[in-house]
């Protein structure tokens, strides 16, 4: 909702709530999984003069996910959440048509719950809980200068001073950035940029099978903030008739990256830092873009060829192991990424849209075999141990999907309105949500009363076949 308080003041209020709920009943295990976010934003826009205006924004968000499991006589609930309250003030000042400044500051309070567990028996005789709460404060202030030095050369430069405090530990950093654009010809321009960035929140991903559970973790005395330095250079062409194309390449150096140690216990662990290993990495790639902005048919095509490498990891806890030797890729290393977006304005009242996305599958760390240990007589099965080799050795099937929509616009007296009939995953691609390993039994062989599987089979769980949807948008 937007409110105009006067010639110089406007208030903008928006909110969102969403929750995804998923249930799985399998031969080996079953569970319930839900995740989502609740957010609210209040923004005040104030015009001081024809050269200066500001936006003051207050936001709130509450993201959480929970995994529930019930077996006969026993139930458990496992989850994490992040709650943020953020206030910021942004100022925009135009010295003239060729020279503008932006500056401002922000303050964010974070509340983390990491690895929360509640479990117990139905009769109440057995119950326990685990997990840890963190409170942290993050702040930042910035200055940004956008200057067209001539008709052919533009320069943008600035810096950000940032800081983070949690559990009595404080960090601060200066983050400079600079970018430039040089017009080579009327239709061709060259651009380049450099940025030094610091990130105080860490995303640590589980590389194993089953649910894709990620952990957000704040910087502490032992887990220092991540740092990166990125350079990029690119070319932009204006091809005429509304067509433009871009080519850009980048290289990023990454420090203080986090991974889980071998055999990490992610949940039900009040000392999660002992499960971390710290290392470094680098990322580089090539991006191509083609866009059409005018005419009845508009849209764009974007393609990225990228690689991410991690190396030199060592556990925070010397008693733990990180057996990987040499380089490896994190699970979100996506080699190929393609997007195609088209919009066709058929008439004043009718339009059609289509979106196609393609990406290389995520990586997972799967065992290449298993060792079975028996007693000396061979009559009792002691244990079965999976054999792991290099990290993230298996790539899931590629992800691709087509979404299509037909839009009908109509114009009531009170405003504008449209109805959209769409198909999500129009050709019924069964993309992988997660995989799990299922033992295969072909006969009645047993050792010590335990049936012996003849092999292990990987099974995938997919979400969302063809999904029709109808959307009503309206303005008043």
- Whose tokens are 């001073």? That residue is 161
pLDDT of residue 127: 65
What gap in Å lies between CA 424 and CA 426, rounded to an integer?
5
Cβ contact 171:164 at 8 Å: yes
In a domain, 233, yes or no: yes
In a domain, 409, yes or no: yes
What gap in Å lies between CA 457 and CA 216, rounded to an integer?
31
In a domain, 445, yes or no: yes
CATH number of the domain enclosing 193: 2.40.170.20
In a domain, 2, yes or no: no
pLDDT of residue 449: 63
Domain with 108, as residue range(s), is: 14-475
pLDDT of residue 389: 87
pLDDT in tens, 166-182: 988 899 999 999 999 99
Using CA atoms of 272, 278, 280, 285 in order, give the dihedral in degrees to the nearest 10.
Answer: -20
pLDDT of residue 71: 66
In a domain, 53, yes or no: yes
pLDDT in tens, 304-356: 999 999 999 999 999 999 988 889 999 889 999 999 999 999 999 999 999 99
pLDDT in tens, 44-84: 999 999 999 999 999 999 998 888 776 666 677 777 888 99
For the record, the structure tokens of 401 come out as 């999907």
In a domain, 5, yes or no: no
Q: How many domains does one find in the chain?
A: 1
pLDDT of residue 270: 77
List C-alpha distances in Å: 218 to 127, 203, 434, 459.
29, 9, 27, 34
Report the predicted TM-score, pTM, of the whole model to 2 decimal places: 0.85
* Residues of the chain predicted below pLDDT 50: none
In a domain, 6, yes or no: no
In a domain, 8, yes or no: no
Cβ contact 43:86 at 8 Å: no
Cβ contact 286:304 at 8 Å: yes
pLDDT of residue 422: 96
Phi, psi of 48 (to 5 degrees): -80, -40
């Amino acid at each position: 909702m937007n409110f105009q308080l006067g010639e110089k003041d406007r208030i903008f209020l928006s909110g969102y709530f969403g929750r995804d709920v998923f249930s799985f009943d399998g031969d080996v295990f079953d569970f319930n999984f839900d995740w989502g976010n609740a957010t609210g934003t209040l923004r005040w826009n104030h015009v001081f003069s024809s050269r200066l205006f500001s936006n003051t924004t207050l936001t709130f968000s509450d993201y959480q996910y929970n995994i529930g499991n019930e077996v006969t006589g026993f139930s458990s609930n496992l989850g994490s959440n992040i709650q943020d309250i953020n206030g910021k003030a942004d100022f925009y000042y135009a010295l003239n048509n060729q020279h503008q400044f932006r500056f401002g500051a922000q303050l964010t309070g974070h509340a983390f719950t990491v690895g929360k567990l509640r479990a117990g028996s139905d009769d109440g005789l057995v119950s326990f809980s685990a997990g840890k709460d963190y409170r942290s404060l993050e702040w930042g202030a910035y200055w940004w200068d956008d200057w067209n030095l001539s008709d052919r050369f533009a320069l943008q430069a600035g810096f950000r001073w940032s800081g983070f405090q949690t559990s009595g530990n404080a960090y601060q950093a200066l983050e400079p950035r600079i970018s430039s654009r040089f017009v080579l010809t009327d239709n061709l321009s060259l651009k380049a940029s450099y940025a030094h960035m610091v990130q105080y929140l860490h995303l640590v991903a589980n590389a194993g099978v089953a649910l894709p559970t990620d952990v957000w973790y704040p910087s502490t005395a032992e887990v220092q903030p991540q740092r990166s330095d990125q350079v990029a250079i690119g070319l932009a062409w204006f091809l005429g008739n509304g067509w433009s194309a871009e080519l850009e390449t980048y290289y990023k150096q990454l420090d203080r990256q986090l991974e889980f140690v071998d055999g990490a216990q992610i949940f039900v662990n009040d000392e999660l830092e002992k499960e971390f290993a710290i290392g470094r990495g680098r990322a580089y790639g090539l991006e191509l873009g083609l866009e059409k902005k005018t005419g009845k048919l508009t849209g764009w095509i974007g393609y990225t060829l990228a690689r991410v490498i991690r190396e030199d990891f060592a556990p925070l806890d010397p008693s733990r192991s990180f057996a990987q030797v040499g380089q490896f890729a994190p699970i979100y290393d996506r080699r190929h990424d393609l997007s195609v977006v088209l919009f066709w304005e058929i008439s004043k009242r009718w339009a059609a849209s289509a979106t196609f996305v393609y990406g290389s599958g995520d990586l997972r760390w799967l065992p290449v075999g298993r060792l079975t240990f028996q007693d000396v007589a061979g009559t009792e099965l002691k244990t079965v141990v999976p054999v792991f080799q290099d990290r993230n050795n298996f790539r899931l099937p590629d992800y691709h999907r087509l979404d299509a929509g037909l839009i009908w616009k109509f114009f009531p007296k009170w405003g504008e309105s449209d109805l959209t009939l769409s198909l999500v995953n129009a050709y019924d691609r069964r993309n992988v949500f997660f995989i799990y390993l299922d033992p295969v039994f072909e006969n009645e062989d047993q050792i010590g009363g335990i049936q012996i599987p003849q092999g292990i089979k990987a099974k995938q769980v997919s979400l969302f076949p063809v999904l029709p949807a109808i959307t009503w948008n309206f303005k008043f």
